[in-house]
Amino acid sequence: MKVGRVCGIDLHINGWFLFQLSLFFVAGILEKGLILFAVVLVHEIAHTITAVRLGIQVIEIELLPFGGVARLGTELALNTQKEIAVAMAGPLSNLALIGLALGFRSYGLWNEELGRFFLQCNILLAGFNLLPALPLDGGRVLRAYLAGWVGLKQATYLCSAMGQAWAVLVTSLAVSGLLLGISGLDILILGLFIFYAATREKKSAPYLFIRQLTQKKKELAEIGLMPAEMMVLLEKVPLKEVIKPFVPGKFYFIMVLDDEMKYSRLLTETQVVDALLTHGLDYPVGQIKK
């Protein structure tokens, strides 16, 4: 549900977040729900401001039960340094709020119950989002790091699988807590939502990989230089196998050998990607024209 605009960007509140606020209202602690709303909003605004300063498109902000999502352009995942900066901005904003609250406390500007809840919200939101699993901030940092070693597609698969694993753990603990009467529905909703979001991230991996391949050509044209790697393979190898080792920040040259292991041709990554987009994944690399 759209509720307004922040920094010129549409602000939406997820239905599950509204449900969570309603639970606070029914329990007679709406002020705590509003504190949670404010903490999550600041966290997402920090992501948004950082992204805008780095030239990343920000589509909208959506507040969710476990935090929120600043929906950014897909080009962010293609730039590992920018993704790390944007991901870390959220938890760092929570640390800043913790420091601000402790400062107010030192000057006696403090409500013991609400102040303690404010600190708890920031600590939990920052700590939870730093878990190394997509779609959490820690998962985005880990993916950016792994992408340089195993490629963006495989890194996304690994980090989203970790997100699903964490979701199963949280959901299992939530069900146990409900049966024992020591936790509410909010933890269960959190686990289910993380599993949904992690699954969505996993499905986006092939699309991100194709974007990575096409984006690198543009980056090389703009920067004018890029580290290079050499690959050697036989003519019969399909393009889907050729592109697997491709990682961000490196340009590849492919030396093709015939069946007798003799030199056939030298291809660039750009030629391979163009052939992939034209002929598909199963097209033999040896069929690419010199």
Q: What is the mean pLDDT of residues 144-157?
A: 88
- pTM of the predicted protein model: 0.79
**The pLDDT value given to residue 270:** 87
Class of domain 226-287: alpha beta
Question: Which band of pLDDT confidence, cut at 50, 70 and 90, is reported for residue 92?
Answer: very high
Tens of pLDDT, residues 94-114: 999 999 999 988 888 888 888
Decide which of 127 and 249 is more confident: 127
Question: Which band of pLDDT confidence, cut at 50, 70 and 90, is reported for residue 130?
Answer: very high
Distances in whole angstroms, Cα of residue 35 to Cα of each of 24, 116, 122, 182, 217:
11, 11, 10, 23, 46
**The pLDDT value given to residue 112:** 86
Cα atoms found within 13 Å of the Cα of residue 117, Cβ hemisphere only: 14
Question: Which band of pLDDT confidence, cut at 50, 70 and 90, is reported for residue 285?
Answer: very high
Question: Is a pLDDT exceeding 70 seen at residue 66?
Answer: no
User: What is the residue-averaged pLDDT of the chain?
Assistant: 85
The answer to whether the beta carbons of residues 63 and 17 sit under 8 Å apart is yes
**The pLDDT value given to residue 74:** 63
**The pLDDT value given to residue 226:** 85
Classify residue 281 by burial, with Cβ atoms within 10 Å: 0-12, 13-18, 19+.
exposed
Classify each residue of 156-189 as buried b or exposed e, where b means 16 or more C-beta atoms within 10 Å of its C-beta: bbbbbbbbbebbeebbeebeeeeeeeeeeeebbb
Domain ranges of the chain: 1-130, 132-203, 226-287
- What is the number of other CB atoms lying within 10 angstroms of the CB of residue 30? 13
- What is the number of other CB atoms lying within 10 angstroms of the CB of residue 232? 11
